Amino acid sequence: MALVRFVLRSVVEILVLPVTILQYIGMWDPLYKRFFPHVMSRVTVTLNKKMGKVKKELFDKLPDFASSSGLTILEVGCGTGANFHFYPWGCKVTCVDPNPNFEGFLRQSDTENKHVKLETFIQASGEDMHQVASGSIDVVVCTLVLCSVRNIDLVLKEIIRVLRPGGAFFFIEHVVAEKTGWLNFFQHVLQPAWRYFGDGCSLTKDTGTNLEKAKFSELNLKYTTERLAFNLIHDHIVGYGVK
């Protein structure tokens, strides 16, 4: 089976060779990064319908981590601001995303969600958020982001750095399907194409393991299922880790 998987994956790699060449000469990313926020603004509507219950249950816990001056949230990989709707009244949000083309969509989401105050948009990657002071944030949020980052462990280290002691990291992330099933097989076969059309997204990451190894004093993590993206995504981890 490993050989079949290797052969099929190689076929996919050959099929996406034109995109690989565009990427190599530096033309793919600038184009796709302009287009992707438009994709996400449409996908968000479906995502929030499908994941709405999970998001509501999770984000209902956010006020437990407010400090005396209120609740400060840092959303890493904020995209279009899909989570604003679920945030508690009066919270102050700082958003980080490496793709500046999301900012317009984010401002729109801020306008539509009067209960949230968007303080700043920082164009940066989660691996290096030096613009955010250490120990300054009550809650960090990532939803469907760690699949796309280059180095999960570095992002988690940065998240722990910016959190105040007792602050929490809230996450909803899709993860690789169980090893023995067909879905896992197809996730590995299609990954060479998926990374281009999913803006760097990986279908094959086991992010739960990274979270378990990260230095949270307490980790509440559960596995759940929801079919997304042409059924290529099925398994998710949901929860929060306390610094």
Ligand X SMILES: C[S@@+](CC[C@H](N)C(=O)[O-])C[C@H]1O[C@@H](n2cnc3c(N)ncnc32)[C@H](O)[C@@H]1O
Instruction: Report the SS3 class of residue 21.
Output: helix
**Would you count residue 184 as binding ligand X (CB under 6 A)?**
no
Indicate the residue whose CB is closest to ligand X: 79
**Would you count residue 127 as binding ligand X (CB under 6 A)?**
yes
- Quote the least distance from Cβ 218 to ligand X, whole Å: 24
Cα gap 198→38, rounded to integer Å: 13
Cα gap 141→83, rounded to integer Å: 9
Distance (Å) of CA 30 to CA 35, 100, 125, 129, 199: 9, 11, 16, 22, 11
For ligand X, the closer of residues 54 and 221 by Cβ is 54
45-64 residues in contact with ligand X (CB under 6 A) are: none
- Quote the least distance from Cβ 189 to ligand X, whole Å: 21
**Would you count residue 202 as binding ligand X (CB under 6 A)?**
no
- Quote the least distance from Cβ 80 to ligand X, whole Å: 6
Token pair belonging to 29: 């990313």
Residue length of the chain: 243
Contacts of 40 by beta carbon, 8 Å cutoff, 6+ apart: 79, 80, 82, 102, 105
How big is the site for ligand X, counted in residues (CB under 6 A)?
21
For ligand X, the closer of residues 44 and 184 by Cβ is 44
Cα 206 from chain centroid (whole Å): 14
One residue of 77, 167, 192, 208 binding ligand X per CB under 6 A: 77
Greatest Cα pair distance, the chain, in angstroms, is 58
Cα gap 96→176, rounded to integer Å: 25
**Would you count residue 116 as binding ligand X (CB under 6 A)?**
no
141-170 residues in contact with ligand X (CB under 6 A) are: 143-145, 148-150
For ligand X, the closer of residues 58 and 185 by Cβ is 58
**Would you count residue 125 as binding ligand X (CB under 6 A)?**
yes
Amino acid at 43: V
One residue of 16, 58, 71, 76 binding ligand X per CB under 6 A: 76
User: Among residues 183, 222, 187, which one has the least CA distance to residue 205?
Assistant: 187
Token pair belonging to 233: 């995504």
**Would you count residue 44 as binding ligand X (CB under 6 A)?**
yes
Question: Site mask, ligand X, residues 4-33, x = CB under 6 A?
Answer: ------------------------------
Which residues would be at the binding site for ligand X (CB under 6 A)? 40, 44, 76-79, 82, 97-99, 102, 125-127, 143-145, 148-150, 200
